[in-house]
Structure 1
Amino acid sequence: MTHFVDDLLAVARSAPDLVALRWFGGRDGGRVREEVTFGSLAERVERTASGLRAQGMEPGDRVLFSIRPRPEGVVLCLAVLRAGGAVVFVDPGSTPELFAARIAAAKPRWAATEALLYAASSGPLRGVARSRGLLLPDYGRLPVRHLYTGAWLPGVPRGARRVTSLGRVAPGSGRASATGAGAPGVTGEADREALVVFTSGTTSDPKAVVHTARTLGGMLGLFARVGDLKPAQRAHTDQMFLGLPAIMAGGTWEIPAKAPKDAPEAFARGVAGADSSFLVPADVTALLDVLETRSRAGGTTPAEGPAVLAVGAAPVTVALLERGRRVLPGTRWLAVYGATEILPAAVTDADEKIAAAAEGDLVGHPLDGTGVRIDPEAASDPEAAAGADGADGAGEPAGGDGERVVGELVLTGPSLMAGYLSDLDAGGPRAVEHRTGDLAYRDVEGRIVLVGRNRDMIIRGTVNIYPGLFEPRLRDLPGVADAVMVGVPVPDGDERVVLVVTAEGGTRTTGTPEIRATTELTRSVADQVGRVVDHGALPDLVVEASHLPLAGRSRKPDRRALVSLVSPVTGTVRA
């Protein structure tokens, strides 16, 4: 198997004059700021890879990457992989303690960052960032080799190299390393680490998913099939999951000036008439809000969107797809299921998912090469599995035995991660499957239908939050007797994180719990929660309950009941 970057560069050289990247900008985000042809893309990637090697990059080097989608960042990302390095994504908005723990776990030798981020984290703009609640880590002090994009700004560390200057090195002129990486090319290194993504965990145990060039290539290939990508098509998205497959298919990746949720008007103009796009549910909501506002202001014709719009990276609800079909009836809506560990795994279109809503959460047929196993022994809470989301565990047989087999969904496939960073760095074996934590069954057509969760996990945005990691610390806060974190679903598929606490000395244990949003205890906990909960898991709201509802033989907190109880307090209507 060749390295997917080799495949991409081969496509680029076969059609050098076609546009590979188109980046939008300007005040309203509607102006084409830069276009990069396939020929220029291939040359820039090769030159930048040679420049990286000339600066001392070795195969296996990890590069902390904090650059927004734009041509300069795309070129650098591909060049790092071309030079044998690995890209490490770490959220700079996490707490300084968690950021430091993730850096210690990843052990990067390089950092690639926008000059503006250096200025905001260690330069004259640091005060402005802090006044807006951004406690950014001091990038300039990281003991690594520094690369930056954009014009130099105060705060960029001495000795940092501007990414564009790396491209002045002729391909093949990089110095030879001890491992023979002096000339361009990474063919034959498909099992080398290529991508590291931190997904969850605590400061003491940060959790990161590792993909190799092989599994990342498998991921891009599957997304190409999801979007039915073809030469000369336009893919308008800020997500590399669709952007890179688009150019590998010979199409144009159009990159919006800002994330869709930050500039929905500009995105709505740019995506109109595109062949495909990929959005997370929160971005879809922002797009539909703009289009509906425009329609109410006097629009007489249906809004125009892309031919195909894939939605994923978080749960996709029927309510969101129904709204999407109503606002953009000419668009084919797809719901993509998967996880950072294996993405994508299954896909279904809006019509199919909506029609099957009564049976559970249909996520569709598994994609080519994806193996599916239902493990009934792993269903740790049979009471939660039975009847969850409308499925009762009985009905049409999955295996012809007269009963539906419900259990934890276990997946394998070409995009399965190599493993978790801590395990692999400790010399552990590579992953052979991924236990999703979702309870599911296969219907008579072989489609995957989710019926609940096997783990108490909350998904907010694209972050997985495990309450069990934080609840013991929360129970130790002054005045708190018990603490439970729950996710309250909202119509676009996201979840609001609500922390439910009870007070020490409370005596009520029966009846329907009373929920209050503003008490002396909730104010006290809200002031202290940042000390014991990681930034990505901070609750959106803290409420006090007179007591916790219990369920099951084990008499554990009934999280499902709590969600129903706190929904009115949060102003959220369950999807």
Structure 2
Amino acid sequence: MLDRLDHALRSRPDRPAVLTASRTGTPRVRARCGELAGLADAYAAALHARGLRPGDTVGVAVRPGPRALALLLALWRLGLRGAVLDPGAGPDVLRARLALARPSLVVADAAAQAVAGWARPLARRARLALPDLAGLGGPVATVGPWLPGCAPSLDLRAPRPAGPAGRGAAVAGDADAVIVFTSGTTSKPRAVVHTRAGLAAGMETVSTLFAQAGEQAGSAGPRHDGRPVLGGTFFVLVPALTRGAPVALPARSPRVLARQLHRLKPADTYLTPPQLRDALRADARFHGRVWTGSAPAGAELLGRVRDAGAERAWGVYALTELFPAAAVEAAEKAAYDGPGDLVGAPLPGVAAKTDEDGQLLLAGPAARHRYLGEEPDPWVRTGDRARLDGTGRIVLEGRTKDMVLRRAENIYPGLYEPSLHVPGVELAVLVGVPAAGAAEAAGDERLVAVVQPRHGAAVPELRASLADPLRRMGSARPDAVLFAEVPLSGRSRKPDRAAAAALAASRLGAAR
């Protein structure tokens, strides 16, 4: 698909490729197809001129946008391995990740490098904080506008190499393509390694998923009417641009995002659940198909998106190790009334099973090849408890590490949390807090529901609406219900269970 993308960019150089939004939501052309192709050529020539060859690792600390996409295309063409360095991870974590990946070169934009002088406030405002890369012993190059204190710019005037190197390296499909860091402590980071074949398979799956959803909605397949796609992830950018649709990067401000949706009327929108909730609070209206993932998305949220104008709303179950794995449409999810969180049938090519502990295992062409420094394993251990229903659909029952122990009973929050999302509830999690007295000494916990009301919802009415779902939880009924804002963390703004547990412990302790 990346080869087809390169051809698509060169075939219509004047077509808009990447859009951004003004404060009024008016679309602005950030890059055209020909500009993207030219930038990828220049990056490839510059990297080749620095002596980088197939198999070498390049650290990428560039924020999502045209430069990041062009750089990844250049790495693909040269057969280089890209190590994605999240500038928001913090200096200590990034030092550990750099030590594990050992890149031959780190390519970063100026804001990600702003570690000293007047540029430091810029990095703070952008919530970026790379360590002083130049002090870690490896070479660093800057892309984009240069700022004082940054490493020298990547030389975009380097001549394009002749012969096979100029057309792209001949690299086998089992060669490494990208390293993505997913978890692990500062002292022991963990990195997912995808091969070129696996990365290509994941993008083909996304393209097929878009096409099949279009057919189910009554269209003839992937849309080629020029309507844009709204989304910022690599797995959205590449399939959309390949089929000729411009991609709009979502605005950060919910109000601007709502205006952006109104003006663009995108054919497909991909936003995380927190972005969807923020947009709904800003009275956004949706158009076309809406997709969401990277954090749990309940039937209630997908239903609100449909009510706000979307033709269809899909929840996508995906992991860093396998993107995407399963998908479920709002109507199917709303019709499910069993315990747990229905995330849909495995997508074509994805195999699913559970181990003896009930943990979900996944495999398929798009699955990661291995973790960096470890042996390959065809099965991805998801860390999710799950079961497969009678039709083979995946029903999640909670993260294995989130288990709460109460009176010798193991309670998995994900099995019960979906039932708490009644109308008027924005977000809800179940967490364990230490029990008091002898129970605490035995390691028992109290189970607490932390419920975040939707803006304008009245707590007394919510208590009444929750009465029946709480009753049906049986022995897993929480010991207390706390109405408060659920803490979020990380770039995808998932519920922070540790912070929610600390909040619950503090509030309940004060109440006692």
So what's the TM-score if we normalise by structure 2? 0.75
Task: Give the secondary-structure state (helix, strand or coil) at the position aligned to 1:291.
Answer: coil
Q: In the alignment, is the contact (CA less than 8 A) between 1:498 and 1:543 conserved in 2? A: no
Match of 2:323 among 322, 343, 346: 343
Match of 2:340 among 360, 366, 383: 360
> Cα distance 1:132–1:169, how it changes in 2: closer, same or farther (>3 A)?
closer
The residue that corresponds to 1:249 in the other structure is 243
What is the one-letter code of the residue matched to 2:257?
A: F
Summarize the Cα distance change of 1:126–1:360 in structure 2 as closer, same or farther, 3 Å threshold.
Answer: same
Bigger mean CA offset, 366-375 vs 209-218: 366-375
Contact 1:26 1:33 in 2 (8 A): no
Tell me what 1:10 maps to.
7
Q: Tell me how far 1:350 sits from its aligned partner.
A: 0.4
Tell whether 2:136 aligns with 1:137: no
Select between 198-207 and 20-29 the one with higher mean Cα deviation: 20-29
Give the aligned partner of residue 413 of structure 1: 364
Q: Which residue of 2 aligns with 1:435?
A: 381
506 and 412 in structure 1: CA distance in 2 versus 1, 3 angstrom threshold: closer
Q: Does 1:270 align with 2:267?
A: no
8 A contact 1:281–1:493 mirrored in 2: no
Kept in 2, the 8 Å contact 1:6–1:185? The answer is no
After TM superposition, list the pairs within 5 Å mapping 1:532-551 onto structure 2. Answer: 539-540=498-499, 543=502
Matches of residues 119-158 of structure 1 in structure 2 within 5 Å?
119=114, 121-126=115-120, 136-157=130-151
Contact 2:112–2:128 (CA under 8 A) maintained in structure 1: no
Match of 1:325 in 2: 306
The aligned residue for residue 87 of structure 2 is 92
| Conserved 8 A contact 2:57-2:80 | yes
Residue 223 of structure 1: aligned partner = 206
Contact 2:160 2:166 in 1 (8 A): yes
Q: Helix, strand or coil: the match of 2:334? A: helix
**C-alpha distance 348-497 of structure 1, shift in aligned 2 (>3 A):** closer
Deviations 1:313-367 (A, max 9, x none): 1222222112222223x33100111211111111110000111133432111211
Quick one: distance in 2 between partners of 1:221 and 1:514? Answer: 42
Residue 214 of structure 1 pairs with residue 209 of structure 2: no
> Does the CA-based 8 Å contact 2:19-2:246 persist in structure 1?
no
- Are residues 568 and 336 of structure 1, via their aligned partners in 2, closer, same or farther at CA, if it must alter by over 3 Å? farther
Q: What is the Cα deviation at residue 153 of structure 1?
A: 0.9
Secondary structure class of the residue paired with 1:124 = helix
Contact residue 65 and residue 249 of structure 2 kept, 8 A: yes
Q: 1:189 to 1:40 in 2, by over 3 A?
A: farther
For residues 189 and 538 of structure 1, do their structure 2 counterparts lie closer, same or farther at Cα, with a shift above 3 Å needed? same
Conservation of the 8 A alpha-carbon contact between 1:315 and 1:493: no
Give the alignment of 1:475-494 within 5 angstroms: none
Contact 1:194 1:213 in 2 (8 A): yes
Partner of 1:192: 175
Match of 2:108 among 100, 110, 113: 113
Distance 1:129 1:42 in 2: 29
1:438-481 CA distance string (max 9 Å, x none): 2323323222222334x2159xxxxxxxx9xxxxxxxxxxxxxx
**Inter-partner Cα distance in structure 2 for 1:282 and 1:103:** 30
- Cα distance between partner residues in 2 of 1:254 and 1:108: 31
Secondary structure at the counterpart of residue 137 of structure 1? coil
Tell me the amino acid that sits aligned with residue 344 of structure 1.
P
Shift of 1:18: 5.6
State how far apart, in whole Å, the 1-side matches of 2:230 and 2:124 are.
Answer: 33
Tell me the equivalent position of 1:172: 161
Matched residue, 1:239: 233
- 1:27–1:111: structure 2 CA closer, same or farther, 3 Å change rule? farther
CA contact (8 A) 2:431 2:447 kept: no
Q: Which amino acid aligns with 1:309?
A: V
Moved more, 348-357 or 488-497: 488-497
Show the counterpart of 2:217: none
SS in 2 for 1:437: strand
Aligned counterparts of 1:325 and 1:20: Cα–Cα separation in 2: 29
1:23 to 19, 23, 37: 19
Can you list the C-alpha shifts for 1:257-315, whole angstroms capped at 9, x where unaligned? x4xxx3222222333411102111111111111116xxxxxxxxxx3x23111111122
Does the residue aligned with 1:77 lie in a helix, a strand or coil? helix
Residue 397 of structure 2 aligns to a residue whose secondary structure is: strand
Mapping of 1:377-416 within 5 angstroms?
377=356, 379=357, 407-416=358-367
Residues 247/567 of structure 1: CA separation in 2 closer, same or farther (3 Å cut): farther
Q: Which runs of 5+ in 2 are unaligned?
A: 212-221, 405-412, 451-494
> Aligned partners of 2:444 and 2:368: how far apart in 1?
46
- CA pair 205-415 structure 1, distance change in 2 beyond 3 A: same
- The question of whether the paired residues in 2 share the 8 Å contact of 1:20 and 1:247 is answered with no
Task: Determine what percentage of the aligned residue pairs are the same residue.
Answer: 31
Quote the residue 1:554 is aligned against.
none
How far apart in 1 are the matches of 2:58 and 2:430? 32
Check whether the contact 1:22–1:252 (CA below 8 A) recurs between aligned residues: yes
Q: Which residue of 1 aligns with 2:476?
A: none
Structure 2 equivalent of residue 62 of structure 1: 57
**Quick check: 1:212–1:417 contact (8 Å CA) kept in 2?**
yes
Deviations 1:456-507 (A, max 9, x none): 159xxxxxxxx9xxxxxxxxxxxxxxxxxx9996969978797946899998
Cα shift at 1:46: 2.6
**Does the C-alpha gap of structure 1 residues 513 and 500 become closer, same or farther in structure 2, counting only changes over 3 Å?**
closer
Q: Distance in 1 between matches of 2:391 and 2:43?
A: 49
What is the rounded CA distance, in whole Å, between the counterparts of 1:63 and 1:496 in structure 2?
Answer: 39
2:153 paired residue among 133, 145, 161 = 161
Conservation of the 8 A alpha-carbon contact between 2:111 and 2:123? no
Cα distance in structure 2, aligned partners of 1:137 and 1:494 = 35
In structure 1, C-alpha distance between the alignment counterparts of 2:100 and 2:434, rounded to whole Å: 33
Provide closer, same or farther for how the CA distance between residues 509 and 233 of structure 1 changes in structure 2, counting only shifts above 3 A. same
Provide closer, same or farther for how the CA distance between residues 421 and 503 of structure 1 changes in structure 2, counting only shifts above 3 A.
Answer: farther
2:471 aligns to what?
none
Change (3 A) 1:170 1:499: farther
The superposition leaves residues 137-164 of structure 1 with CA deviations (integer Å, 9 ceiling, x where unpaired) of 223433333222332211102xx224xx
Partner Cα distance (1:238, 1:78) in 2: 16
Secondary structure at the counterpart of residue 79 of structure 1: helix
1:57 partner amino acid: L
Which residue is equivalent to 1:203? 186
Q: Distance in 2 between matches of 1:497 and 1:98?
A: 29
Q: CA deviation at 1:21?
A: 1.3
Pairs aligned (count): 438
